[in-house]
């Protein structure tokens, strides 16, 4: 891919009008980095759309609160559907009347893909940043994505391969989290910062960031800790709470759990700082999701355990088409870390998988492998994403002027 040179402020090109729509606060972080890098290329650029505090600080004129798009779950989406449809109609009109040069949807695929399709049909260049898990389920969505975007920007190389196979223009930009986390982690410093003894074995427990995940998984994780301490009484655990609400729930579940006072005292409950907790640990027990990638980027061996409602599991078995659910295994395209799902996520199975990682050094080979994978994902994602946007924009301008792209 040829990267366009940054545009200077004295360039004859008209000021770039960029319409950006982020669906949640994680997308706001991505959008802020992307806007910053686009401003370096196009100093006179203007930005409108939907974003949070990070994007607004970088100069976005946000036309609606980002929280209006941060709706998850079928029931919640249905409840908010009229306002979501009205917002999408309004954004379509705003982008068209403003005569945007390019529209970038960040995550929120169900909302943004329809908006991208409508605007592309009106002659506006479109990109989507953060691939939905179309390679795992509802693969038919790729046909609509192909019609909706001029370029898909992916975090992960296997996602880019999927889009190429389906004739969707794509750029692999790397993962921003891989840029943020150091390739050389410091376990001793992490423990010192968290006030944890540098000499004891330590297990990081990440039961999830959502209420249902914590409710289902934390009691299991606490029993795992109790049983492991039955043989290794010096073991301690650190639990990073994703929010104050999650912390309150975790504290209540610890109080209700059938664990001895010694195990309770061995638990370090902290606010946020998930990366620090994982870096400080010897192994991680987590609910699959972004935390599995974060554990990889902290270079820690892990066990992935996940339970869901029986009906949800029954449906998932029939609609999800992937051999693995955790990003370390998906990236490697082989089983690097144990995935214990539903009935396999028993206390006994988890204990048997974790004990060698914690006490026998069985995870050492994974550390070197994870560092290699980290390096492959650390691509300066915001810079590469901005370069891809510039490439699409300049190709569009060349086509309008009858020039070869």
Other C-beta atoms within 10 Å of 193: how many? 13
Band of pLDDT at residue 73, cut at 50, 70 and 90: very low
Q: How far is CA 311 from CA 61, 101, 264, in A?
A: 43, 45, 33
Looking up tokens 């659910």 gives 325
The whole-number average pLDDT for the span 86-100 is 95
Q: Using 50, 70 and 90 to split pLDDT, how confident is the model at 67? A: confident
Residues 288 and 316: beta-carbon distance below 8 Å = no
The residue that leads in pLDDT, 123 or 135, is 123
Just give the CATH number of 17-174+379-400: 3.40.50.2000
Helix (H, G, I), strand (E, B) or coil at 238: strand
CATH number corresponding to 187-377:
3.40.50.2000
Dihedral angle of Cα 171, 172, 178, 179, to the nearest 10 degrees: -40
Give the rounded percent of residues in the chain with a pLDDT score beyond 90: 64
Rounded to an integer, the average pLDDT of 42-51 is 95
Q: Is the pLDDT of residue 136 over 90?
A: no
Determine which of 60-69, 230-239, 298-307, 376-385 has the lowest per-residue pLDDT on average: 60-69
Is residue 308 within 8 Å of residue 316, measured between CB atoms? Answer: yes
Q: Is the dihedral of CA 38, 44, 45, 47 positive or negative?
A: positive
Q: Residue range 332-346: average pLDDT?
A: 88
Residue 72: what pLDDT? 44
Check residue 61 and give left, alpha or beta (phi > 0: left; psi -120 to 50: alpha). beta
Which helix (H) or strand (E) element contains residue 305?
Answer: strand 302-306
Per DSSP (E only), the strands in 139-259 are 151-154, 170-172, 202-206, 236-241
Q: What pLDDT is stored for residue 332 in this prediction?
A: 85
Q: Read out DSSP for 55-122?
A: HHHTTEEEEEEGGGT---SHHHHHHHHHHHHHHHHHHHHHHHHHT-SEEEEES-HHHHHHHHHHHHHT
- Residues of the chain within CATH 3.40.50.2000 domain(s) are 17-174+379-400, 187-377
Q: How many helices (H) and strands (E) does the chain have?
A: 18, 13
Q: Average pLDDT, stretch 85-89?
A: 90
* Mean pLDDT on 381-397: 95
d(CA 29, CA 111): 19
pTM strictly above 0.85: no
Mean pLDDT calculated for residue range 216-225: 95
pLDDT tens per residue across span 276-286: 999 999 999 99
Please report, for residues 28, 68, 119, 286, the alpha-carbon distance to residue 83 in angstroms, rounded to integers and kept in the order given: 21, 8, 20, 35
Lowest-pLDDT range, 62-71, 94-103, 311-320?
Answer: 311-320
């Amino acid at each position: 891919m040829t990267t366009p040179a940054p545009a200077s402020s004295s360039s004859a090109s008209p000021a770039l009008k960029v319409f950006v729509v982020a669906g949640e606060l994680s997308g706001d972080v991505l959008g802020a980095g992307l806007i910053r890098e686009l401003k370096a290329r196009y100093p006179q650029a203007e930005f409108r759309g939907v974003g949070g505090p990070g994007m607004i600080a970088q100069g976005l004129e946000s036309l609606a609160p980002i929280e209006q798009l941060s709706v998850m779950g079928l029931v919640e989406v249905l409840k908010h559907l009229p306002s979501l449809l009205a917002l999408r109609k309004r954004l379509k009109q705003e982008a068209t009347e403003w005569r945007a040069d390019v529209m970038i949807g960040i995550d929120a695929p169900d909302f943004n893909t329809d908006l991208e399709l409508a605007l592309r049909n009106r002659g506006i260049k479109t990109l989507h940043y953060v691939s939905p898990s179309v390679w795992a389920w509802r693969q038919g969505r790729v046909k609509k994505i192909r019609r909706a975007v001029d370029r898909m920007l992916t975090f992960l190389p296997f996602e880019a391969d999927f889009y190429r196979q389906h004739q969707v223009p794509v750029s692999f930009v790397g993962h921003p989290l891989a840029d943020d986390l150091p390739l050389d982690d410091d376990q001793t410093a992490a423990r010192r910062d968290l006030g944890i003894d540098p000499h004891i074995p330590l297990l990081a427990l990440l039961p999830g960031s959502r209420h249902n995940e914590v409710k289902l998984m934390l009691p299991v994780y606490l029993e795992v800790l109790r049983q492991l301490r039955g043989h290794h009484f010096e073991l301690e655990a650190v639990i990073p709470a994703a929010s104050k609400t999650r912390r309150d729930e975790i504290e209540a579940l610890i109080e209700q759990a059938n664990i001895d006072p010694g195990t309770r005292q061995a638990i370090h409950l902290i606010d946020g700082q998930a990366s620090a907790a994982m870096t400080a640990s010897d192994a991680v027990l987590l609910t699959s999701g972004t935390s599995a990638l974060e554990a990889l980027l902290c270079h820690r061996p892990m066990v992935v355990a996940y339970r869901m409602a029986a009906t949800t599991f029954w449906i998932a078995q029939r609609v999800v088409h992937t051999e693995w659910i955790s990003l370390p295994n998906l990236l490697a395209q082989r089983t690097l870390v144990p995935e214990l799902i539903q009935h396999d996520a028993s206390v006994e199975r988890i204990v048997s998988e974790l004990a060698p990682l914690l006490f026998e050094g069985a995870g050492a080979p994974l550390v070197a492998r994870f560092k290699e994978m980290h390096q492959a994902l650390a691509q300066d994602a915001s810079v590469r994403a901005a370069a891809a946007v510039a490439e699409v924009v300049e190709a569009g301008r060349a086509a309008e002027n009858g020039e070869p792209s």
